[in-house]
Structure 1
Amino acid sequence: MPVLPDRDGLDAPVTLDRREGPYGEVVLRQRGGHFEIIANGCFLMDTADGRSERLLMQAALDELTVDRPSVLIGGLGVGFSLAYAAAEPRWGRIAVAEREGAIIDWHRTGPLAAFSQHALDDPRVAVLHTDLVAYLAGDGETYDALCLDIDNGPDWTVTDSNAGLYGTDGLAAARRRLAPGGVLAVWSAQPSAAFEKALRTAGFRDVHTLEIPVRRGVPDVVHLARRA
């Protein structure tokens, strides 16, 4: 199980909003000057440190050679990935898939707008209010990069339905949605050798993992792979 962020010395959390939706409960909490998103009692992410999310985007961009590449980000979260992408002029079309309407609201009119840096207003950005797993499984446009951060990793999903994303069918769907030579980048709170093997089995090449040191516990990682 991934290690939760160090909260020693910080204030007790204050719940700002709580919503019930088709995927369960989602909660926005404030702890001192930072905000946390909790889904079905599972800590997802907070605004204390965006290094992992930024590396997710930068690592994918560094793997690409096409001009003005397109990217699909899943999901919106606290907005670090989207803000970092929108601040980079090399990205062309930027789509972000988020299934929780509450999270989109917190960025449009709530306190998380400061962390996504109003990137939702960027003309390159399209916010897709949709379940990422279902969206990838459907027919639609392709992207040069898929940057996915909807769970705590392939081995610890927020909901059972997300598990399919990291298996045979989900990875096949991701490959179909990538342009030739496109890059899949998946954030995880811990390394997963099983997921690396699954990527290779699904036909991806150049599979490798980047580590992001954290204050305690095992490093966060970004799993990277390329469509052959």
Structure 2
Amino acid sequence: MSGMESVIVDGGLALRHRADGHLELRANGIFVMDTRETSTEKALATRALELHAQPGQVLIGGLGLGFTLEAVLTDPRVESVTVVEIEPRLVEWMRSGRVPHGPELLNDERVHIEVADVAVVLRESPAEAYDVVLLDVDNGPGYLVHDANGALYEAPALAHARRSTAPGGTVVVWSAAEAPALLEVMTQVFDVAETHSYPVDLQGHEETYWLYAGWLSTGGVSPRNGTN
């Protein structure tokens, strides 16, 4: 509600209704995201989807406030979206409408919510189960909210993501800061690795967020490897 603030806290997770009318999500006291600046959450989806001719099956690691999911659902080619979120409280806040756009997103018949660790899900998924895998489970390897998430940015977990992705598919990782080591690992794991930087206005401060995309070749022409 504009002009007022309220905070819902459950364990280490907090949803703040700010005086400016926006929602802000924090974990263990660390800023995760808000509803004011959502461009890179959406770009996480749109960049991956534009690289794929038929992205029927999508996996999203990390529900957040739903903006990546929203962007995925706007693509009519998408047939099914599996969202893996480790925090059941966040899923409940979305379902109950504490995040106002949450119920509509989660009620989409294409959406399946799995409360689990995405690293485990990728490790146990059938080979080539997804066309696109989107990973936004933390602030990136340089600003971890949960130290255990660091393994997700390393070769073994990314290799599981590759195995779970069909030929021609894409795995995209969101990061709050430039991560050259992540790009190096993704270059080793995937056929092509790309870096994309996005300037953002974060509550009046200029920041840069990053997407790291790994692409699986089909044996034909692949996107050009590079950065921008």
2:226 corresponds in structure 1 to none
CA distance in structure 1 between the partners assigned to 2:5 and 2:164 by the alignment: 39
Gaps of 5+ in 1: 1-9
Q: Do the aligned partners of residues 173 and 158 (structure 1) sit closer, same or farther apart at CA in structure 2, a change above 3 Å counting?
A: same
Deviation at 1:103, TM superposition (A): 0.5
CA distance in structure 2 between the partners assigned to 1:52 and 1:36 by the alignment: 16
State which of 139, 145, 151 in structure 1 corresponds to 2:138.
Answer: 151
Q: TM-score, normalised by structure 2?
A: 0.86
Q: Indicate whether 1:98 and 2:85 are aligned.
A: yes
SS in 2 for 1:48: coil
CA distance in structure 2 between the partners assigned to 1:131 and 1:170 by the alignment: 12
2:52 corresponds in structure 1 to 64
- The one of the two structures with greater contact order (alpha-carbon pairs below 8 A, sep at least 6) is 1
CA distance in structure 1 between the partners assigned to 2:6 and 2:78 by the alignment: 36
Q: Structure 1, residues 142-186: CA drift from partner, whole Å, max 9, x if none?
A: 111111111111222221111111112111111111111210111
Q: Structure 1, residues 79-107: CA drift from partner, whole Å, max 9, x if none?
A: 11111211221212111111111100111
Q: Indicate whether 1:89 and 2:81 are aligned.
A: no
Paired residues in the alignment total 211
1:168 corresponds in structure 2 to 155
State which of 164, 181, 184 in structure 2 corresponds to 1:194.
Answer: 181
CA distance in structure 2 between the partners assigned to 1:225 and 1:180 by the alignment: 12
Identity of aligned residues (%): 34
Contact 2:175 2:210 in 1 (8 A): yes
Q: Indicate whether 1:14 and 2:1 are aligned.
A: no
CA distance in structure 1 between the partners assigned to 2:192 and 2:126 by the alignment: 25
Gaps of 5+ in 2: 218-228
